[in-house]
Structure 1
Amino acid sequence: MRVQMLGLCRFSYVGLRGYQVEHDSVAARRDYLYDPQRLARRWLWFTKVALPAWQAQTDPDFTLVVMTGPDLPDPYLSGLRDLARQIPQLKLELIPPMDYHLAACKEAVLPHIDHSADVIGHFRHDDDDAVAFDYVAATRKDFNRVKALWKTTERLSLDYARGLMLKAGPDGVSLTPRICHNMGVALTIFLRPDVPETALNYDHSKLPLWMPGVAVTKPLMFIRSIHRDSDSGDMGPGLPWDVKGQQLERQLQRRFGFTLDGLNDLARQLG
């Protein structure tokens, strides 16, 4: 079965609903998202944390749709246009403000569905999180192992649950190893190509209501960032796992290309 890996990353999209931090009007939402200092911080998160691993995926056969508004201020809109020209997998979608967030996400994602694929692996990715270099390759391999389960309902979630919670402050970062199920990052939802739905159709915290799920608890697959601009600053439920010192440094470098010194420097830049 041929699987298309198709993701959505929202970059300061001005629209109502769909986030934990809500606003009463599009104007209030725009003022919040387009605050110059906030945009500068989000750009650092996106380009220094989220983007590097997508550029270095061991399996480059995927599409990542970056969704923002047509009035995103420069230099950020120009910067996204440049990145879309440089990175074949990155597709920029400029979606005007919409009252219903799910409809906006569909407008961004559905034009990129490959209807010749047998299955679409939908994923969402926040602009301040990171996945490991082999996320796409591992997802394809593991889906092939459980595709018989997908065939029973033609809906299936595949959750890479082992991650690091990165808390960033003015003095640097702290990293908490956690096994967290259905966090939203490194989580793939497999649907037929003719189904007009995306990963955003399903509340990731309630996925068992709609589909069977498979949790893969090794290897380390994601970093979730928690900071003052996070939509949710809650670490959420999970189980601890032990990694520290030089072993943690090796995992950061091998899985994501990061160093602890580099992450601390980024946190200090972010203030």
Structure 2
Amino acid sequence: MRVQMLGLCRFSYVGLRGYQQDHATFDERRAFLYDPGRLARRWRWFATLALPGWLAQTDPDFTLVIMTGPDLPEPYMSRLRDLAEATPQLRLELVPPMELHLDACRAAIAPHVDPRADVVGHFRHDDDDAVALDYVASARRDFAQVQGLWQAEGKLSLDHSRGLMLRAGAGGAEFVPRIAHNMGVALTIFLRPDQPQTALHFNHMKLPLWMPVVAVTRPLMFIRSIHADSDSGDMGPGIPWRIEEAELDRQLSRRFGLTRADLESLARAGS
């Protein structure tokens, strides 16, 4: 069975709805998103936390669409163009401001759906979160174990739910281990290629209303950041688990290709 892994990452996209912080007009939204200080902070989170995992996935057979507007200020537009040109898995889609956010997401994703695929594993990724280096490989492998559930309904979500919450503050980074179901990061929604939805079309906290949900609680699969510019600063519900400090350092390196020092610096700068 041919499984296409297809994700969407929104980078300061000027659109209405679809976010926790609402704005009445496109101009208000643009002024908020394109504030120079905010853009600089978002880029630091993207480049330091989010991007390394995508550039080093053990399974390179995936597509991550980076969605932004055609008027994204420099130097960020050029940086995204350069990334997409240098990395086959990254595609840049410039979507004009749209009032209906889900329509905008569909416009970004639709050109990249492979009609030859038997199933498309849709995922969303915020520009300030991280997935483990084997997320794509794990999603494809674990789906093979439960694909009968998908075949029955044409919809299935696979929730890799063991992660770290990274709280950023002036003192650096605080790491809170949590098993957080349907958090949105490292969550894959498997659909048929002819279905019009994307991962964004389903409220990730209400997925059982629409499809079977399979939770995979090992291994550690994501880092979710919480900082001053987060769209939602709420950690959300979850089950605590423990990790020793030395093991945390090893897991950051082994699972994500990251260092504690880089994340501490990022947290202090982006709090």
TM category (shorter chain) comes to over 0.9
**Residue 111 (structure 1) aligns with:** 111
Query: Which runs of structure 2 are paired with 1:212-223 in the superposition (5 Å)?
Result: 212-223=212-223
Matches within 5 A, 1:4-153: 4-153=4-153
After TM superposition, give the deviation of residue 95 of structure 1 in Å: 0.3
Output the CA distance in 2 between the equivalents of 1:199 and 1:36.
30
Q: Is the 8 A contact 2:48 2:262 kept in 1?
A: no
| 1:245 aligned residue | 245
Instruction: Decide whether the 8 Å contact of 2:8 with 2:109 is kept in 1.
Output: yes
- Listed one character per residue, the Cα deviations across residues 201-240 of structure 1 (whole Å, up to 9, x for unaligned) are 1000000000001000000000000000000000000000
3-state secondary structure, aligned to 1:176: strand
Counterpart of 2:193 in structure 1 is: 193
Runs (4+) off by over 4 Å: none
Aligned residue identity for 2:6? L
Displacement of 1:170: 2.2
Mapped partners of 2:144, 2:88: distance in 1:
25
- Secondary structure at the aligned position of 1:117 is classed as coil
Q: How does 1:202-241 map to 2 (within 5 A)?
A: 202-241=202-241
Distance 2:144 2:82 in 1: 35
Q: Which whole-Å CA distance do the structure 2 matches of 1:227 and 1:153 have between them? A: 38
Structure 2: how far apart are the matches of 1:27 and 1:269?
Answer: 27
- Aligned equivalents of 2:247, 2:177: Cα separation in 1: 12
1:159-189 deviation line (CA, Å, top 9, x unaligned): 0000000011122100000000000000000
1:167 aligned counterpart, secondary structure? strand
Cα deviation code 1:117-167 (max 9, x no counterpart): 100000000000000000000000000000011011010000000000001
Aligned counterparts of 1:108 and 1:190: Cα–Cα separation in 2: 18
- Cα drift, residue 261 of structure 1: 1.5
> Distance in 2 between the 1:226 and 1:244 partners?
21
1:270 aligns with 2:270: yes
**SS of match in other structure, 2:92:** strand
Q: Secondary structure at the match of 2:255?
A: helix
1:257 Cα shift? 1.2
> Are the aligned partners of 2:59 and 2:136 in contact in 1 as well (CA < 8 Å)?
yes
Give the distance between the partners of 2:102 and 2:52, measured in 1 at CA. Answer: 27
**Aligned equivalent of 2:174:** 174
Percent identity over paired residues: 68
Partners of 1:210 and 1:155 in 2: CA distance: 8
- Measure the CA separation in 2 of the matches of 1:135 and 1:270: 26
Deviation of the 1:244 alpha carbon: 2.1
Shift of 1:80: 0.3
Give the structure-1-normalised TM-score: 0.99
Unaligned runs of 5+ in 1: none
SS in structure 1 of the partner of residue 215 of structure 2: strand
Q: CA deviation at 1:268?
A: 2.6
Aligned partners of 1:172, 1:242: CA distance in 2, in Å?
A: 20
Distance 2:87 2:169 in 1: 31
Determine the C-alpha separation between the residues in 2 that align with 1:259 and 1:14: 32
Unmatched segments (≥5 aa) in structure 2: none
SS state at 1:250 partner: helix
Shift in Å at residue 260 of structure 1?
A: 1.3
How many corresponding residue pairs?
Answer: 271
Q: What residue number does 1:163 align with?
A: 163
* Deviation at residue 107 of structure 1 after TM alignment: 0.2
